[in-house]
């Protein structure tokens, strides 16, 4: 972690928590379709998306917490948003694993090791 990252993160208060698995909107994005307004719009709903390479393009997931969506383009996959990633070290944090999340402000999640480095 750089000194700049450390100072930025020290301005926030963190709480110990567990992040549950969430449902996700899923779709196939063919090569070259990354800028399709339906794709960018869905990814922009939460600011988070995951892209998995598959033949001919990518499988894209976006956390889904309810609301309208285009059922001709997306399906809901129960519990597919099943992990988070530490903001600093990029460690995979499985759903329901204790971790640290900002109490307010931008959403930042940290693993135990990176949180310790802030102390």
> Could you give phi then psi for residue 82, rounded to 5 degrees?
-105, 10
**Rounded distance, CA 57 to CA 33, Å?**
8
Q: What is the mean pLDDT of residues 86-99?
A: 95
> Could you give phi then psi for residue 46, rounded to 5 degrees?
-115, -15
Q: What's the predicted TM-score (pTM) here?
A: 0.81
Question: Which DSSP state fits 107?
Answer: -
Confidence of residue 105 (pLDDT cuts 50, 70, 90): confident
* Structural domain spans, the chain: 3-20+83-118, 22-81
Model pLDDT, residue 23: 97
Three-point CA angle 18, 3, 7, nearest 5°: 60
Confidence of residue 56 (pLDDT cuts 50, 70, 90): very high
Q: How far, in Å, are 51, 53, 112, 113 from residue 86 at the CA level?
A: 17, 22, 9, 10
Query: In this structure, how many other beta carbons lie within 10 angstroms of the beta carbon of residue 110?
Result: 25
């Amino acid at each position: 972690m750089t000194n700049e990252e450390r100072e930025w993160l020290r301005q926030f208060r963190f709480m110990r928590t567990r992040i549950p698995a969430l449902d996700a909107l899923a779709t196939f994005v063919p090569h070259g379709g990354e800028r399709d307004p339906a794709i960018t719009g869905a990814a922009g709903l939460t600011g988070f998306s995951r892209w998995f390479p598959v033949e001919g393009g990518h499988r894209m997931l976006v956390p889904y917490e309810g609301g309208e969506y285009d059922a001709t383009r997306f399906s809901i996959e129960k519990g597919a948003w099943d992990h988070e990633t530490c903001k600093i070290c990029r460690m995979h944090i499985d759903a329901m694993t204790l971790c640290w999340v900002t109490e307010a402000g931008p959403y930042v999640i940290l693993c135990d090791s990176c949180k310790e480095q802030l102390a």
